[in-house]
Amino acid sequence: MPPAGWCWLGPVLAACGLLAVADGAAEAGGGAGAGAEAACPATLRSTGRCAAGGECAYEVRLPALTVQLPAQWGRLEEVFKEVQNLKETVNSLKKSCQDCKLQADDSRAPGRGGQLSPSPGAPGEAEDGRVRELESEVNKLSADLKDAKEEIDVLHGRLEELSLVNMNNIENYVDSKVANLTSVVNSLDGKCSSKCPSQEHTQSRPVQHLIYKDCSDYYTIGKRSSETYRVTPDPKNSSFEVFCDMETMGGGWTVLQARLDGSTNFTRTWQDYKVGFGNLRREFWLGNDKIHLLTKSKDMILRIDLEDFNGVKLYALYDQFYVANEFLKYRLHIGNYNGTAGDALHFSKHYNHDLKFFTTPDRDNDRYPSGNCGLYYSSGWWFDACLSANLNGRYYHQKYRGVRNGIFWGTWPGISEAHPGGYKSSLKEAKMMIRPKHFKP
């Protein structure tokens, strides 16, 4: 039941053709039975038509009086404030980082002999501590930002449950703010670790190695062979091995999934998909917890490479890729498509994998009410009801009949055509990999 006094963006969103369900029948504390229309002091004005992407230009005017909103909106406001605070913190950090660079240049000046390990009590030591402090502040800030983002996700989930309103406009707005701040923090992080000599000193101690968050960091230090490497996307969490593709489109890719010969069974449990399985050099799923940490640590893009049994190779590129944590059922966030294979993850209104939860044969989080898509299609995936893409389906070495549970990409040329005898074709190879959005090989 929507709380009383609910009278916000409903009309304007409805005018833009978006879903808006505002239950006007106020059942109120204090007998405010006047109805939402009359009780609503806000005026709304559409400033034009909606863009193709569903974004609408509009104005909301609120009088000086307090407008009652559902409790959830209050929390959203807190998040906005938090984002604002974070922005200010980032600015001051940025400034102190510049200071740090100046000091670094000073300490490199002739006469000091490039000394990087000052004796106890020397000025360098205080500086060393300061940089570490700064670094931990930056890390904390990064974590805070992601928390804010996850909070938005939770909020979004709640609102969906309440069928109140389509949150996309607001969520996109906050998401873009958080993305922006995250990229500032990341670049700051980079500046601090590369420019401050005391930092280099710290890292040369055996206990505190330079942290490689993903394959792009290995690329940056000159690694050019496609191999397994150890990464630490979150210093507070564990390190793990990943396979790095240092060749495709400039390299620096962290591989999340690979299919090539059917040597690994992908019909697996929630727990298996959580921790990962298979062989990093052949077929594997890296693991949802690790994918979450990697996509949380930096803004990532996703590249999907596919090949069929005729040797046709196509790819799909998405300019945003984020997988939420287990609490949020590893919800998928996928951005704009570019490439040659077609946008099978946003196939249509009815088959859209964006913002879907992860489902496995033993854990049904899909949007299909009368069954489990993971069980039916032998896979763990971000199922809708059910799919237009399923790269974790069964591996078929040839055409097959029956349920379309093979490795499937719905926009593949000819894949959905009816074949004589009901034969279906599966893909021969699939690979999913990520790279930081701002990485330049």
Ligand X SMILES: *[C@@H]1O[C@H](CO)[C@@H](O)[C@H](O)[C@H]1NC(C)=O
Number of chain positions touching ligand X (CB under 6 A):
10
Other C-beta atoms closer than 10 Å to the C-beta of 263 total: 12
x-or-dash string of contact with ligand X, 181-220, rule CB under 6 A: --x-------------------------------------
Other C-beta atoms closer than 10 Å to the C-beta of 135 total: 18
Query: Of ligand X, Ca ion, none, which one does residue 46 interact with (CB within 5 to 8 Å by kind)?
Result: none
Ranges of beta strands (E only) in 83-143 are none
Residue 340 in the binding site for ligand X (CB under 6 A): no
Query: Of ligand X, Ca ion, none, which one does residue 272 interact with (CB within 5 to 8 Å by kind)?
Result: none
CB 393 within 8 A of CB 373: no
The residues near 424 (Cβ < 8 Å, ≥ 6 apart) are 399, 400, 401, 404, 406
**Using CB under 5 A, which of 364, 376, 396, 437 touches Ca ion?**
364
Nearer to ligand X, 73 or 347 (CB): 347
Residue 265 in the binding site for ligand X (CB under 6 A): yes
Nearer to ligand X, 22 or 255 (CB): 255
10 Å CB burial of residue 432 (0-12, 13-18, 19+) is buried
The residues near 41 (Cβ < 8 Å, ≥ 6 apart) are 62, 63, 65, 67
Contact range with ligand X by CB under 6 A, out of 27-35, 289-297, 396-404, 413-421: 289-297
**Using CB under 5 A, which of 351, 368, 376, 396 touches Ca ion?**
368
**How far is CA 278 from its chain centroid?**
24
Query: Of ligand X, Ca ion, none, which one does residue 238 interact with (CB within 5 to 8 Å by kind)?
Result: ligand X
x-or-dash string of contact with Ca ion, 4-43, rule CB under 5 A: ----------------------------------------
At its nearest, how many Å lie between ligand X and the CB of residue 83?
Answer: 12
Residue 351 in the binding site for Ca ion (CB under 5 A): no
Query: Of Ca ion, ligand X, none, which one does residue 364 interact with (CB within 5 to 8 Å by kind)?
Result: Ca ion
At its nearest, how many Å lie between Ca ion and the CB of residue 373?
Answer: 6
At its nearest, how many Å lie between ligand X and the CB of residue 293?
Answer: 5
Residue 91 in the binding site for ligand X (CB under 6 A): no
Nearest to 144 by CA among 254, 256, 236, 274: 236
CA-CA-CA-CA torsion sign (136, 139, 145, 148):
negative
Residue that the structure tokens 């890729």 belong to: 321
At its nearest, how many Å lie between Ca ion and the CB of residue 385?
Answer: 8
Query: Of Ca ion, ligand X, none, which one does residue 310 interact with (CB within 5 to 8 Å by kind)?
Result: none
Other C-beta atoms closer than 10 Å to the C-beta of 145 total: 23
Nearer to ligand X, 201 or 331 (CB): 331
**Using CB under 6 A, which of 238, 271, 279, 310 touches ligand X?**
238
**How far is CA 425 from its chain centroid?**
31
Q: Determine the length of the chain.
A: 441
d(CA 125, CA 115): 12
Nearer to Ca ion, 130 or 367 (CB): 367
**How far is CA 365 from its chain centroid?**
18
At its nearest, how many Å lie between ligand X and the CB of residue 215?
Answer: 16
Binding residues for ligand X restricted to 49-68, rule: CB under 6 A: none
Residue that the structure tokens 């996109």 belong to: 172
Residue 237 in the binding site for ligand X (CB under 6 A): yes
**Using CB under 6 A, which of 338, 403, 413, 416 touches ligand X?**
338
At its nearest, how many Å lie between Ca ion and the CB of residue 287?
Answer: 23
Task: Give the CA count within 13 Å in the CB-facing half-sphere of 39.
Answer: 20
Cα-Cα end-to-end distance for the chain: 52
- The DSSP code for 428 is S
What's the one-letter identity of residue 385? A
d(CA 102, CA 411): 53
Query: Of ligand X, Ca ion, none, which one does residue 376 interact with (CB within 5 to 8 Å by kind)?
Result: none
**CA-based radius of gyration for the chain:** 25
What's the one-letter identity of residue 125? E
Contact residues: Ca ion, CB under 5 A = 364, 366, 368
Contact residues: ligand X, CB under 6 A: 180, 183, 237-238, 265, 267, 289-290, 293, 338
